[in-house]
Structure 1
Amino acid sequence: MTAWYYSDAMNRRQGPVDTATLAGLQRQGGVDEATLVWRDGLAEWQPLRTLLSEILATPAFAPDTTATAPDTASQVHDYASAAAIPVSSPASPYTPPASPLAEQDDFQSGGEVVYAGFWKRFAALAIDSFVIGIAYYGMVIAMMIVLGLGAGMMEGSAAAGGMFALVAMVYLIYPLLSALYYVGFESSSRQATLGKMAVGIKVTDASGRRLSRGQALGRWFSHLLSYFTLYIGYLMAGFTDRKRGLHDMVAGTLVVDRWAYTASPQQQRRELGAVTIVVMVLALLAILAYAAIVLAIAIPAYHSYVQRAAGV
């Protein structure tokens, strides 16, 4: 016997009832065509109108000739914007979210989730650091020009005050830009910074939903823990469950594929992707170039020191 569940006027789950009972409720006005129903075998809750032919085709009830199946795009849209049914204890793995889908963008619970690994996150961080760095140095250079011109017309304590203001802004602008950048992008509808968009990942809360401004700000502050642990907090994303860094654990966030928790989870990708590979190669070349510059400076300096020590 098929067991059906349905929502009442207060969006509370009712049931289970058999098919004949549900058909009787429909005839008596206890449920209408917009009522969300679910049975074992359905991937998600659906409006009653889409299942009338199945429910009313019972020995006790003839099909209702006034009921029609949805034949317009507007009816499908109505279902997409219908409120999901809150439940106190899930009866199946298909239990829907507890808040209206319209308030959660395209959020969909359930399904496989591909978590963003260390290298994708590294590539995203490299891109984001480059973007913030360009903006930062552009602002610093502009301020140095402005304050330099102003200091030329100042004397004594006024000039010293201008230099102090410049130094203070040099140290304060970067964290301010970083906070505005990460909080603004990660709490947006894209849930991702420019770097994360480029590699196809996004940030969610522990349930897969979009971060609020406060949650995004808390996640930004929690990055300090990864700095204090000499970047070990970032390396944790390579071997922890759900690929979380220390800051993710503290802030209660996840970094997942851009298609996770959507209506198209099958589009998630586990491979690194072209952007990630290109950024990794460029980062490796930058590290090698930096090492070559350091060695080019350090080796002559070391030889000079040895010669002075030997009294040559």
Structure 2
Amino acid sequence: MTQWHYADRNHQQCGPVDDAELVRLFRNGDIRLDSLVWHSGLPQWQALSDFSEALGLQAAAPASPYMPPASEVLGEEAVVNGGEVVYAGFWKRVAAYIIDGFIAGIVGGMIGGVIGAMMGVASMGDPSGGKFLAVQLLSNLVGMVIGVAYFAGMHASSAMATLGKMAVGIKVVRSDGQKISFLRGVGRYFGLIVSSLTLCIGFAMAGFTERKRALHDMMCDTLVVDKWAFTSHPEWQRKELGAVTITILVLGGLLLVVGVLAIMAAVVFAARASH
């Protein structure tokens, strides 16, 4: 097997790696076609593009750096079993939830503005508050429908992942690697509520169960895995967190700290104002 050495973006020599790892580095954008590579059979370092056809790099062309990584589009008949499966750990899932929560917050904020205006109109001339309660119930129903449509729809799509999961490179599948149905996606969405009612222990289970399954995964026979799991290229799976996951976790942690400090400051201010 050929053992390659390559120059990274800082022009530092790295390696040795085999053909599959070299292709994976190219697929993830760590090296480019103009990156220099070498192995013992070459008289000197050459551009990776010289070996593009031999390594099949055209089929492994990296996605645009401005686009989040997406799961490979597969039909049910294209599922490949027997290779290594890298399960998505707790922290990758947390990062995905942070992104999805941000997206849901934007959509919810826009809808909340419309609902708020409706509440203002509904409460006028209605001392009993009946219309206000009706609009509030409508708001809750709309929020639930949006959540079901987003999570169930995206998980049952060809991407098999929400935007948050796409960004960190993971997807949701059945325990045998097949794409889940929309109805199973709906059940999984409501399973999230059950995981929440256990003081979030249901979510934490993804950190220590055998196949990194949360409670709602066990309830719905689903797995959260690397986007290349159950494909013809299991060697492209990544066990490390990755730059996107780490960045999102750091930003989420900073926002949490800022939020806690803001709440503490508000409590202190209110206490002083009351004296």
Same fold (TM over 0.5): yes
CA deviation after TM superposition for structure 1 residue 298, in Å: 2.4
Q: Which moved more, 1:137-146 or 1:175-184?
A: 137-146
CA deviation after TM superposition for structure 1 residue 148, in Å: 3.2
State the distance in 1 between where 2:160 and 2:230 align. Answer: 12
Query: In the alignment, is the contact (CA less than 8 A) between 1:117 and 1:243 conserved in 2?
Result: yes
RMSD (Å), alpha carbons: 2.1
**Match for residue 181 of structure 2?**
212
**Match for residue 114 of structure 1?**
86
CA deviation after TM superposition for structure 1 residue 167, in Å: 1.3
SS of match in other structure, 1:255 = strand
Query: In the alignment, is the contact (CA less than 8 A) between 2:170 and 2:225 conserved in 1?
Result: yes
Q: What's the % identity of the aligned pairs?
A: 42
**Match for residue 147 of structure 2?**
178
Structure-to-structure mapping, 1:82-121, within 5 angstroms: 104=76, 106-121=78-93
Alignment partner of 2:254 out of 285, 303, 309:
285
**Match for residue 132 of structure 2?**
163
What letter matches 1:129 in structure 2? Answer: G
**Match for residue 195 of structure 1?**
164
**Match for residue 142 of structure 1?**
114
What letter matches 1:118 in structure 2? Answer: F
**Match for residue 297 of structure 1?**
266
Query: In the alignment, is the contact (CA less than 8 A) between 1:105 and 1:189 conserved in 2?
Result: no
State the distance in 2 between where 1:248 and 1:132 align. Answer: 21
The TM-score, its normalising length taken from structure 1, stands at 0.60
Gaps of 5+ in 1: 1-101
State the distance in 1 between where 2:238 and 2:215 align. Answer: 24
Query: In the alignment, is the contact (CA less than 8 A) between 1:116 and 1:256 conserved in 2?
Result: yes
Change (3 A) 1:300 1:242: same
Indicate the structure whose relative CO is greater, using CA pairs within 8 Å and at least 6 residues apart: 2
Change (3 A) 1:189 1:105: farther
Query: In the alignment, is the contact (CA less than 8 A) between 1:108 and 1:262 conserved in 2?
Result: yes
Query: In the alignment, is the contact (CA less than 8 A) between 1:201 and 1:258 conserved in 2?
Result: yes
What letter matches 1:220 in structure 2? Answer: Y
Structure-to-structure mapping, 1:24-35, within 5 angstroms: none
**Match for residue 198 of structure 2?**
229
**Match for residue 227 of structure 2?**
258
The TM-score, its normalising length taken from structure 2, stands at 0.68
CA deviation after TM superposition for structure 1 residue 171, in Å: 2.2
CA deviation after TM superposition for structure 1 residue 301, in Å: 4.4
Query: In the alignment, is the contact (CA less than 8 A) between 2:151 and 2:162 conserved in 1?
Result: yes
Change (3 A) 1:205 1:267: same
Query: In the alignment, is the contact (CA less than 8 A) between 1:115 and 1:243 conserved in 2?
Result: yes
Could you list the per-position Cα deviations for residues 8-30 of structure 1 after superposition, in whole angstroms to 9, with x for gaps in the alignment? xxxxxxxxxxxxxxxxxxxxxxx
What letter matches 1:230 in structure 2? Answer: L
For these two proteins, the number of residue pairs brought into alignment is 202
**Match for residue 125 of structure 1?**
97
Query: In the alignment, is the contact (CA less than 8 A) between 1:204 and 1:210 conserved in 2?
Result: yes
Gaps of 5+ in 2: 1-73
Structure having the higher Rg = 1
Could you list the per-position Cα deviations for residues 13-56 of structure 1 after superposition, in whole angstroms to 9, with x for gaps in the alignment? xxxxxxxxxxxxxxxxxxxxxxxxxxxxxxxxxxxxxxxxxxxx
Query: In the alignment, is the contact (CA less than 8 A) between 2:168 and 2:244 conserved in 1?
Result: yes
CA deviation after TM superposition for structure 1 residue 225, in Å: 1.5
Query: In the alignment, is the contact (CA less than 8 A) between 2:85 and 2:234 conserved in 1?
Result: yes
State the distance in 2 between where 1:118 and 1:266 align. Answer: 21
State the distance in 2 between where 1:133 and 1:304 align. Answer: 32
What letter matches 1:143 in structure 2? Answer: I
SS of match in other structure, 1:211 = coil
